[in-house]
Amino acid sequence: SSQGKNELRFADWMAALPGSIHRTPLTNLAIPGSHDSFSFYIDEASPVGPEQPETVQNFVSVFGTVAKKLMRKWLATQTMNFTSQLGAGIRYFDLRISTKPRDPDNELYFAHGLFSAKVKEGLEEINAFLADHPKEVVFLDFNHFYGMQKYHHEKLVQMLKDTYGNKMCPAIFAHEVSLQYLWEKEHQVLVFYHSPVALEVPFLWPGQMMPAPWANTTDPEKLIQFLQASITERRKKGSFFISQVVLTPKASTVVKGVASGLRETITER
């Protein structure tokens, strides 16, 4: 079917690019990404994340499961899991990591207000796709860490080693990274790590190599103006960069549409 052909093309769009682009620095390509990439799954049975303000903690302590169901409508920014996102062409993932209070297993989880899946499971899902699509490259952006001590970072670094091994591209000058370079080295993963830990590990790219200015507005016109101004400025800096084409609800937006959620109040704008 034509739909099947489209899915195939999106799943291997990097491999299908014309030869003239193979040596173009990846900093010069527009690469689709997702926001809070893991939030297709929000565990309503989980505790509230440690990054949430006291007002949210109190709201949940009073209203319990009902409060978490309402929160989920505002926390889930994706409907597709990692495999489906990759099949649709997504290559950049926005990842936020947290420990869980009073967790006897000391696991690491994706988190956005409430907890999502275990990090290990998500990384393995992405790796399974890469094994089937050897010319596709992903950007894993670990940009928020909650409740993490030094040994948690060590655990995450080891998890990355165990999952991706030599698929990870060591940090070099951004303009040197092209598809041709990565294919020759058999690298498929660039890991950006917004923590000083990145300076100690060769395969972690420092967070400043993937800046993500945030418009923080509910107004589409202001968002477009912000994006146009920032893309011009950031192209001069020789790093990767993110254009966050997302509207952000204010507290008043949430209060007015508390039962409707993010999709109904923000997405269609």
* The pLDDT value given to residue 55: 66
Pick from 146, 113, 116, 140: which is nearest to 249 by CA? 113
- Helix, strand, coil: what percent of the chain each, to 5? 45, 15, 40
The Cα 15–Cα 81 span in angstroms is 22
Residue 114 contacts residue 71 (beta carbons within 8 Å): yes
The DSSP call for residue 168 is B
pLDDT value at position 63? 59
CA angle 79, 132, 198 (to 5 degrees): 75
What whole-number distance in Å separates Cα of residue 56 and Cα of residue 113? 9
pLDDT tens-digit series, residues 11-51: 999 999 999 999 999 999 999 999 999 999 999 888 887 77
* Catalytic machinery residues: 35, 112
Regions of the chain where pLDDT drops below 50? 1
What is the per-residue pLDDT for 253?
84
- The three-class DSSP label of residue 199 is helix
Query: What architecture is the 14-210 domain classified under in CATH?
Result: Alpha-Beta Barrel (3.20)
How does pLDDT run across 223-256, given as a tens digit for each residue?
999 999 998 887 667 789 999 999 998 888 887 8
pLDDT at 4: 63
The per-residue DSSP string of 25-92 comes to BGGGS---EETTTTTT---TTSPPPTTS-HHHHHHHHHHHHHHHHHHHHHH---SS-HHHHHHTT--E
Per-residue model confidence (pLDDT) at position 154: 97
Q: Could you tell me which residues come within 8 angstroms of residue 172 by beta carbon, excluding any fewer than 6 positions away?
A: none
Q: CB-side exposure of 229: number of CA atoms within 13 Å?
A: 9
